Structure 1
Amino acid sequence: MTRYVGSKWRKTVAIRKQAYLARFVPETARLTKASLRRQLAAYRMVYVKPEFGMHGNGVMRVEKLSAGFRYQMGNTIRKFNTYDGLYRGIAAATNRKPYLVQKGIHLLKHNGRFFDIRVMAQSPARGKWMTTGMIGRVAAKRKIVTNFHNGGQILPAERLLRPYTGQLNAKLALLSKLGVLAGRRMSAAFPGVRVIGLDVAIDRSLKPWLLEVNTSPDPYIFRKHPDPRVFRRIMRIAKTYS
């Protein structure tokens, strides 16, 4: 059985210890009044997300406006005149559970909706990692998270990225490399991890950003991959550790 690691903070710390991967990790900190203020001053838009949680539940997009602040969680948008008011509102919404604040990445869009890429990497044998699939996730209308369980749409990564780059194969190769390196780093930090789902944002300059590492990723979204061999390969390797 593959090991599950729930804390997004512990996983982020582990990934940042690998020098190559660290350059692709957005600034991330535990949520405090000071850390949120600092990141909003630096980036104007950040994401606040629960340290423990799945399917994008509880994630907030927080913005510093020309006058005041606002956050969106689900379909709820709230505006505040002062930073103190914003923080009180966020503290109430999080019910004071442990949260993280992360530099906001302005995602590419498909038909006006944000998308990111899920990279699946698996370990068929001790010490060996391979990227076994990539799929795109498109946010539902007016949603800030791309998760399928939050109404997101699953589309081929190639279809989503092709309009933005003439070097599609090179971009896919980089994503594949990041999946393997992240898998190796996670299994080194947390022995027993045999599979990861790497959530990768692509910004407007086409740089990939590692938003999150999942150690119990849903393989069934790959049923929607246009090549049925991808899903069969993922499930075949999953049998070696489940």
Structure 2
Amino acid sequence: MNKLPRIQRVHSKWNKTRILLVKKGLKNYVPDTRKLSRATLETMLNLYQMVYVKPDHGTYGKGVMRVEKELTNQGVRYAYQAGETRRGFTTLDSLYASLQSKKTKRIYLIQKGIHLLKYNKRRFDIRIMVQINPQGRWESTAWIGRVAAPRKIVTNYHSGGTPTAVETLLKHYMSPSDIKAFHQKLNRLGVDTARQFARKYPRVKEIGLDIALDRKFHPWILEVNTKPDPYIFRKLKDKSIARKVYRYAKAYGGV
């Protein structure tokens, strides 16, 4: 029996972001992302008022912090949230010092914050699964929504997020026909992203795109996961979706 070639995994979020930015057709879907320093923190907060800080290497939303700059009657104030804990600061220096004390990895990134759409007052994003199909072509095989737990800033299932059908999440924002068209748009975005990754890493066989929707329904690629967990799709009512994901993954050695 022939052994399947080992699948490539790309762990650095910074490297994955750079891969996306090379492709002109993908740049508009990538939030401004830089390496964290005091200078980039100041610049990004001045530009966007809300940003996310996260480790370059990491999974399940661990180490992610939401940082904000606010103009109050008392002047400029800063705050960040890690987990369910929120802390406030009166100066950028004190904010940065506290962020530094929270860091568990050497390199952290800072990313433009996207104000996520909400479902029952809880933030949600979308995971798109893209896989090499048995014919050797990239195919977007599944999508699922992830609803953040109350008071949480991340939507990951392992951090308390609730897997939910995307149609359920979007029905308050779009008509059924608009949801269908939007699904097709995200499927194309998923395949384009996978092809771009395969140019640099030809042994990548699957990716999971984490997509944020802003208030204008523009999709933003928050992250590309080259080792996406297929288990979450078992939570969907339509069990044929998970069966397809697992069938494809088994064919290329992903499970």
Pairwise same-fold verdict (TM > 0.5): yes
CA RMSD after TM alignment: 1.1
Structure 1 counterpart of 2:51, from 37, 40, 46: 46
Residues in 1 aligned to 2:220 and 2:84: alpha-carbon distance in whole angstroms: 25
Residues in 2 aligned to 1:110 and 1:63: alpha-carbon distance in whole angstroms: 22
One-letter code aligned to 1:195: E
Residues in 2 aligned to 1:157 and 1:54: alpha-carbon distance in whole angstroms: 22
Matched length: 242
Residues in 2 aligned to 1:32 and 1:65: alpha-carbon distance in whole angstroms: 20
Q: Is the 8 A contact 1:222 1:231 kept in 2?
A: yes
Report deviation, 1:95.
Answer: 4.1
Q: Give the secondary-structure state (helix, strand or coil) at the position aligned to 2:133.
A: strand
Residues in 2 aligned to 1:95 and 1:234: alpha-carbon distance in whole angstroms: 34
Residues in 1 aligned to 2:136 and 2:202: alpha-carbon distance in whole angstroms: 10
Query: Mind listing any 5+ residue stretches in structure 2 that lack a counterpart?
Result: 1-5
Structure 2 counterpart of 1:205, from 201, 207, 216: 216
Pairing of 1:114-125 with structure 2 (within 5 A): 114-124=123-133
Are residue 77 (structure 1) and residue 86 (structure 2) matched? yes
The residue number in structure 2 matching 1:86 is: 95
- CA gap of 1:18–1:125, structure 2 versus 1, over 3 A, is farther
State the TM-score, normalized to the length of structure 2.
Answer: 0.92
The residue number in structure 1 matching 2:3 is: none
Are residue 3 (structure 1) and residue 14 (structure 2) matched? no
- CA gap of 1:63–1:230, structure 2 versus 1, over 3 A, is same
State the TM-score, normalized to the length of structure 1.
Answer: 0.97
- CA gap of 1:186–1:127, structure 2 versus 1, over 3 A, is farther
Are residue 14 (structure 1) and residue 19 (structure 2) matched? yes
Identity of aligned residues (%): 48
Q: Is the 8 A contact 2:134 2:248 kept in 1?
A: no
Q: Is the 8 A contact 1:219 1:235 kept in 2?
A: yes
Are residue 215 (structure 1) and residue 226 (structure 2) matched? yes
**Between 210-219 and 225-234, the greater mean CA deviation after superposition:** 225-234
Pairing of 1:1-242 with structure 2 (within 5 A): 1-66=6-71, 67-95=76-104, 97-124=106-133, 128-166=137-175, 167-242=178-253
Report deviation, 1:189.
Answer: 1.4
Deviations 1:18-51 (A, max 9, x none): 1111111000011111111111000000000100
Q: Give the secondary-structure state (helix, strand or coil) at the position aligned to 1:183.
A: helix
Q: Give the secondary-structure state (helix, strand or coil) at the position aligned to 1:122.
A: strand
One-letter code aligned to 1:223: R
Report deviation, 1:187.
Answer: 1.2
Q: Give the secondary-structure state (helix, strand or coil) at the position aligned to 2:251.
A: coil
Residues in 1 aligned to 2:220 and 2:11: alpha-carbon distance in whole angstroms: 20
The runs of at least 4 aligned residues of structure 1 exceeding 3 Å deviation read: none
| Greater C-alpha Rg | 2
Q: Is the 8 A contact 2:205 2:252 kept in 1?
A: yes
Residues in 2 aligned to 1:186 and 1:219: alpha-carbon distance in whole angstroms: 19
**Between 176-185 and 52-61, the greater mean CA deviation after superposition:** 176-185
Deviations 1:128-157 (A, max 9, x none): 100000000000000000000000001001
Deviations 1:5-24 (A, max 9, x none): 10000001001111111111
One-letter code aligned to 1:16: L
Report deviation, 1:124.
Answer: 2.4
